[in-house]
Amino acid sequence: MSQVARTRGMTVAAFGRRKGGSPLVCLTAYTTPMARLLDPHCDMLLVGDSLGMVIYGLPSTVPVTLEMMIAHGAAVVRGAASALVVVDMPFGSYQESPAQAFRNAARLMAETGCAAVKLEGGAVMAETIAFLVTRGVPVLAHIGLQPQSVNTYGGYGARGKVEDEAERILADARAVAEAGAFAVVVEGVVEPLAQRITDAVPIPTIGIGASAACDGQILVSDDAFGIFADFTPRFVKRFADLASVIDAAAKAYAEEVRARRFPGKEHVYQPAAAPAAPQGGAPA
């Protein structure tokens, strides 16, 4: 069976057309070097506000600022040649009003060069999504478990376990699609609900802790590659254990420094050789 070639120079429109097609491959990225490594393999790179926990050691995504997202968003855009780059809008930057959301989304796009923004919220954010989309800001929606609302939820448990909550989340999916979101992240919901949502909306669903039936998948790269070891959610598969590799490399470096085996002669600079003395007798 032939493989479906990934679209080069992924656009928002091309991303949306992948509904029901070859699964969309998405990962988070926060730096230029990581973006360069992931870009050849991904349809979308998300500069997630998860950087607050992964990069800055914050207890949640709530303290992340717009300035942090701009700095890391610009870094990822510099490293991405073909993947669609989307930047999260941090907590407090869009909930007040559609006008506030537009001001901050416009700044994100102008100062990073990203193609779209992501915001959390379902039906309650439909007006804001429509306001942004009609003014030229593509929006990736985010429903189900919403990390920015962890204080309201009281934790990171799965959503949609009971039918009334499942119906509300399904209604959220329909609302963001009708408002004009080009795709929707479906996080931390029970698998049957993720399947229902995918069947119910005309835009791609990007699952994280949801279902293989979604139109695509996303993970936090540092989770998937075994770099961030503070907590591993049930839905994360570790495709590598880079934390152990880095730990072993740091240990080897420390041992060589303490034993004065590093740096070696090949790692240091030597002064230029003195010019040779002239040959022959004294001049006439």
| Model pLDDT, residue 172 | 98
Instruction: Take residue 231 and report the two structure tokens written for it.
Output: 């907590």
| Model pLDDT, residue 276 | 75
Measured distance CA(143)–CA(209) in Å, rounded: 12
Confidence check: pLDDT of 270 > 50: yes
| Model pLDDT, residue 274 | 77
Q: CA distances (Å), 42 to each of 22, 82, 165, 219, 221, in order?
A: 12, 8, 32, 12, 12
Residue 189's DSSP bridge partners are: 159
| Model pLDDT, residue 2 | 33
Domains of the chain from N-terminus onward: 12-240 (3.20.20.60)
Q: What is the pLDDT of residues 17-56, one digit of tens each?
A: 999 999 999 999 999 999 999 999 999 999 999 999 999 9
Q: Is 244 annotated as a binding residue?
A: no
Q: Is 120 annotated as a binding residue?
A: yes
pLDDT-derived band at 197 (thresholds 50, 70, 90) equals very high
- Secondary structure of residue 95 in the 3-state scheme: coil
Q: 143, 173 in Cβ contact below 8 A?
A: yes
Q: To the nearest whole number, what is the mean pLDDT of the chain?
A: 92
Q: 198, 211 in Cβ contact below 8 A?
A: yes
From the list 121, 156, 169, the residue with the least C-alpha distance to 142 is 121
| Residue numbers annotated as active site | 187
From the list 62, 24, 53, the residue with the least C-alpha distance to 185 is 24
Give the residue-averaged pLDDT of 131-149. Answer: 94
Q: Is 39 annotated as a binding residue?
A: no
| Model pLDDT, residue 275 | 79
| Model pLDDT, residue 5 | 40
Confidence check: pLDDT of 154 > 60: no
CB atoms within 10 A of CB 85: 25
| Model pLDDT, residue 284 | 54
Measured distance CA(280)–CA(284) in Å, rounded: 11
Confidence check: pLDDT of 1 > 50: no
Instruction: Take residue 259 and report the two structure tokens written for it.
Output: 């034993």
Measured distance CA(216)–CA(144) in Å, rounded: 16
| Model pLDDT, residue 248 | 97
- Proportion of the chain above pLDDT 70, given as a percent: 91
Q: What is the pLDDT of residues 210-234, one digit of tens each?
A: 999 999 999 999 999 999 766 667 7
Q: 138, 12 in Cβ contact below 8 A?
A: yes
Q: Is 161 annotated as a binding residue?
A: no
Q: Is 237 annotated as a binding residue?
A: no
